[in-house]
């Protein structure tokens, strides 16, 4: 996570739903509340796939939905704006929806890979509408700044000899507590990685050094990517100089 820096400020549109199910062709519906929706682009496969998609000249928003089979894990990569993302999830037959700002690029290369053979469909839509802020996602990303700062300062302070072990545990408990207000939120793209962060912070075996690697850092990396793709600042407030 960048320290004391801000991501580009954009806003978010709600993705138009498509019917769940892994078939060779995803159902096509026009996204609602958009001045102009362009023809959807789909690609499908059984293990991995890649597609180069032309971005319409006056598109401002992109909506990507992944539907895949079984308990497979998937990774979706593509360069769309100022970031190159790795978005990950578990299929479970559900819809995985991503909204992104369209930058100056005029083409989008999407690559999807499953961890084992299954079926998937990736549905990509563009709109000429501009982003509208997703209040829930902005709230989640703001909470993550607090959590990440608390955990970082616990680790950094302990390494520098400015935080004792009991203080380290107190700071980690404070970081975990910052996630509790989010527990009642409706499920969205950040639910899974936020849960992974909460589990890591609450682990009884947690010890200094635990939050610079492993599941915690992997989940935080995914959260940072989503927040920055949606124009919400992510940074660390370093207490001991960083």
Place of tokens 């995803």: 26
* Nearest C-alpha neighbor of 69 from the set 123, 124, 20, 15: 20
Average pLDDT over residues 37-55: 81
Whether residue 51 is predicted with pLDDT greater than 80 in this model: the reply is: yes
- Averaged pLDDT, 195-218: 86
Q: What percent of the chain lies above the pLDDT cut of 70?
A: 75
- pLDDT the model gives residue 109: 75
What's residue 191's pLDDT?
87
Asked whether the beta carbons of 63 and 97 are under 8 A apart, the reply is: yes
* Mean pLDDT value of segment 89-100: 74
What integer pLDDT is reported at residue 1 of this predicted model?
A: 47
Where residue 55 falls among pLDDT bands split at 50, 70, 90?
confident
More confident residue, 150 or 235: 150
pLDDT at 165 over 60: yes
Which range has the worst mean pLDDT, 106-110, 222-226, 229-233? 229-233
Q: What is the mean pLDDT of residues 91-115?
A: 76
CA distance 45 to 49: 6
Residues 6+ apart with CB under 8 A from 39: none
Express as a percent the part of the chain with pLDDT over 90: 18
Which residues partner with 121 through β-bridges? Answer: 44, 67
pLDDT above 60: residue 187: yes
Count CA within 13 A, CB hemisphere, residue 59: 28
Confidence of residue 151 (pLDDT cuts 50, 70, 90): very high
Residue 11 has pLDDT above 80, yes or no: no
Structure confidence at residue 87 as a pLDDT band (50, 70, 90): low
User: What average pLDDT is seen over the chain?
Assistant: 75
**Mean pLDDT value across residues 64-69:** 85
Given a cut of 50, whether residue 9 has pLDDT beyond it is no
pLDDT band at 50 (very low <50, low <70, confident <90, very high): confident
Task: Tell me if 239 sits within 8 A of 153, measured CB to CB.
Answer: yes
């Amino acid at each position: 996570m960048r320290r004391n820096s801000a991501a580009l400020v954009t806003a978010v549109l709600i993705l138009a739903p498509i019917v769940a199910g892994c078939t060779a062709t995803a159902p096509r519906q026009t996204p609602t509340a958009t001045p102009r929706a362009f023809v959807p682009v789909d690609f499908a496969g059984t293990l991995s796939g890649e597609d180069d998609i032309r971005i319409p000249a006056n598109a401002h928003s992109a909506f990507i939905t992944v539907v895949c089979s079984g308990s497979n894990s998937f990774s979706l990569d593509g360069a769309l704006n100022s970031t190159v993302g790795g978005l990950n999830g578990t299929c479970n037959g559900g819809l995985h929806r991503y909204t992104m700002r369209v930058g100056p690029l005029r083409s989008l290369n999407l690559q999807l890979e499953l961890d084992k053979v299954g079926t998937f469909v990736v549905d990509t839509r563009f709109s000429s509408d501009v982003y509208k802020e997703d209040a829930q996602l902005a709230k989640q990303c703001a909470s993550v700044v607090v959590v990440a700062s608390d955990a970082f300062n616990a680790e950094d302070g302990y390494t520098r000899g400015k935080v004792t072990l009991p203080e380290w545990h107190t700071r980690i408990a404070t970081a975990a507590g910052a996630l509790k207000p989010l527990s009642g939120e409706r499920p969205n793209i950040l639910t899974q990685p936020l849960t992974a962060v909460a589990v890591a912070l609450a682990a009884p075996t947690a010890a200094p050094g635990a939050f610079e690697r492993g599941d915690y850092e992997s989940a935080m990396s995914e959260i940072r990517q989503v927040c920055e793709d949606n124009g919400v600042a992510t940074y660390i407030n370093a207490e001991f100089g960083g």
